[in-house]
Chain A
Amino acid sequence: MKDSLVLRSRIQAHPDSRCWFLAWNPTGTLLASCGGDRKIRIWGTEGDSWVCKSVLSEGHQRTVRKVAWSPCGNYLASASFDAVTCIWKKNQDDFECVTTLEGHENEVKSVAWAPSGNLLATCSRDKSVWVWEVDEEDEYECVSVLSSHTQDVKHVVWHPSQELLASASYDDTVKLYREEGDDWVCCATLEGHESTVWSLAFDPSGQRLASCSDDRTVRIWRQYLPGNEQGVACSGSDPSWKCICTLSGFHTRTIYDIAWCQLTGALATACGDDAIRVFEEDPGSDPQQPTFSLTAHMRQAHSQDVNCVAWNPKEPGLLASCSDDGEVAFWEYHQPAGL
């Protein structure tokens, strides 16, 4: 495990503030960061160093909690504690706020674009998940308000290829939603975590979902379709989700984020014990009961809590992380030999 995760560089992205979240653009050339200073910064490389290309500072009145790039890379959405989601349009190095999505009653905790680019999801402390449709004229319309969770919703993420939405909540559950007729419905509730679920990540195939929690565990869930070979019961035509693996005993504090590399399958976690960990599925492990091994453990990756980890979508092994100390760090992950 020695040297499997190597620091490439560190930048003070949000001075005197915490950096809450990071998002790579689809081509992996830009990294957006957001934080408690209410700003969004866009970072790009110039030679060997990372430089700030743009600062988006007039968009929000309060902390910006998450940012997300559209699949085409021309838009950036930002979710804020001011209860508003901003949509920014990119024009070279400039970003212009073209729309604000309002409606949530209080802090917006997450925003995510569907792979099609036509749908956006947001979630809030008001316990709801909103689905928005966007048309060719950049008009946004809320098409569904989903109030299935009983508490603060922390994160939303879309399935990589299907129009399936997942949400994580302070109510200790994960919920899945799909479109049914004209509306969206909750089609599954994943129970098992013993405290707040902070984040979610689908694997490259979309068959598995990883969740991380304040209970200091990571759970891997697998989708079973009706009529599956394993005999997992499904109700009606909806797939069932079963917890097939729990990673416990590795993290000593709340796990705030999890990221599943779409290129290599490696799983990275951001933890409140200031560490970054990487896990890989053991070769030859049973798909119905997989085992994962810890392949990297960077203690003191940051001087305070790690809030986010993000794999670069184009460069295998390039991982970005950010922290309560306001810094963003870039790492190179090398899969240990023998895997």
Chain B
Amino acid sequence: MVGGGGGSGGSGRGGLLENANPLIYERSGERPVTAGEEDEQVPDSIDAREIFDIRRCWALAGRWGLGSLFLHLAHLIRSINDPEHPLTLEELNVVEQVRIQVSDPESTVAVAFTPTIPHCSMATLIGLSIKVKLLRSLPQRFKMDVHITPGTHASEHAVNKQLADKERVAAALENTHLLEVVNQCLSARS
């Protein structure tokens, strides 16, 4: 689910995307789309990438027929709401950066997020929301790893261990109250 309207920028092949409410991406710069990527004749491999750029996603999406997948990955991570505020995590500086690594042939996705507040008790909830969004968006063959960017959080080992434990995640998501909070985190901004 795309939060807050479509992507911004996008001077790639598809032309500018109409967007009344551009997402605010001040913090992360945009990578230039290379000539090779713009050329439809040159095959583009899906391999590990550090940061998803919206224009890049859009260019790849159409080519590979995985449109919703890659487009959503970038949009969704950045548009997850802080449970207590209507703005996005990035706007609030709660999450400074999100790194996404995808390997399509190996069916793996690794998401590293950086909570800016080292003792943030919301880290587990943010991580869980990211995990849930991935679980709902990606084909079942994908193995998903969501963790805190190493060295950026006081309890990163404890948080990472919980997020990696699928039994704990499954049990947590059967808790209706917690699921409600997670769904609120993932819902589009009004």
Q: Which residues of the partner chain A approach B171 to less than 8 Å between Cβ atoms?
A: 62-63, 81, 106-107, 125
Number of A-B contacts (CB under 8 A): 35
Q: How large is the interface on B (under 10, 10 to 19, 20 to 34, 35 or more residues)?
A: 10 to 19
A280 lies within 8 A of chain B by Cβ: no
Q: Evaluate contact between B165 and A253: CB separation under 8 angstroms.
A: no
Given A170-B165, A196-B165, A214-B164: A63 in contact with B143 (beta carbons within 8 A): no
In the assembled complex, the Cα of A125 lies from the Cα of B171 at a distance in Å of 10
Contact A303 B141 (CB under 8 A): yes
Q: Roughly how many angstroms separate A202 CA and B58 CA in the complex, as a whole number? A: 54
User: How many Å from the CB of A273 to the closest CB on chain B?
Assistant: 8
Would you give the shortest CB distance from A321 to chain B, in whole angstroms?
Answer: 17
A144 within 8 A of B: no
Instruction: Determine whether B13 belongs to the interface, using a CB cutoff of 8 Å to chain A.
Output: no
Residue on B with the closest CB to A125? Answer: B171
What's the nearest-Cβ distance from chain B to residue A34, in Å? 13
Q: Could you say which of B141, B161, B170 contacts A304, with CB atoms under 8 Å apart?
A: B141
A203 in the interface, Cβ–Cβ < 8 Å?
Answer: no
Taking CB atoms, residues of chain A closer than 8 Å to B167 are 65, 109, 154
Interface residues on A, range: 20 to 34
Given contacts A109-B167, A196-B165, contact A325 B140 (CB under 8 A): yes
Q: In the bound complex, how far is the Cα of B170 from the Cα of A335, in angstroms?
A: 37
Nearest neighbor of B166 in chain A, beta-carbon distance = A305
Is A152 interfacial (CB-CB < 8 Å)? yes
Chain B residues with CB under 8 Å of A125's CB are 168, 171
User: A303 vs B161: C-alpha distance in the bound complex, in angstroms?
Assistant: 24
State which of B166, B168, B174 has its C-beta within 8 Å of the C-beta of A62.
Answer: B174
Is A272 an interface residue when CB atoms closer than 8 A count as contact? Answer: yes
- List B131-153 residues whose CB lies under 8 Å from chain A: 140-141, 143
Q: How far is the CA of A152 from the CA of B161 in the complex (A)?
A: 12
Residues of A within 8 A of B168 (CB): 125, 152
Is B166's CB under 8 angstroms from A303's CB? no
| Least distance between B124 CB and chain A CB atoms (Å) | 15
Q: Of all chain B residues, which has the CB nearest A62?
A: B174
Which residues in chain A, 153-204, are within 8 Å of chain B measured between CB atoms?
154, 170, 195-196
Bound CA–CA A170/B141 (angstroms):
26
Cβ–Cβ < 8 Å partners of B164 in chain A: 214, 254
Tell me the minimal C-beta distance from B131 to chain A in angstroms.
15
Known contacts A63-B174, A107-B171; 12 further A-B pairs (Cβ under 8 A): A18-B170, A63-B170, A65-B167, A81-B170, A152-B168, A170-B161, A170-B165, A195-B161, A214-B165, A272-B143, A303-B141, A325-B140
Interface CB pairs A-B, < 8 A, 29: A18-B170, A36-B170, A62-B171, A62-B174, A63-B171, A65-B167, A81-B170, A81-B171, A106-B171, A107-B171, A109-B167, A125-B171, A152-B168, A154-B167, A170-B161, A170-B165, A195-B161, A196-B161, A196-B165, A214-B164, A214-B165, A253-B143, A254-B164, A272-B143, A303-B140, A304-B140, A305-B166, A324-B140, A325-B140
A-B CB proximity, top 6 nearest: A81-B171, A107-B171, A62-B174, A81-B174, A304-B140, A63-B174
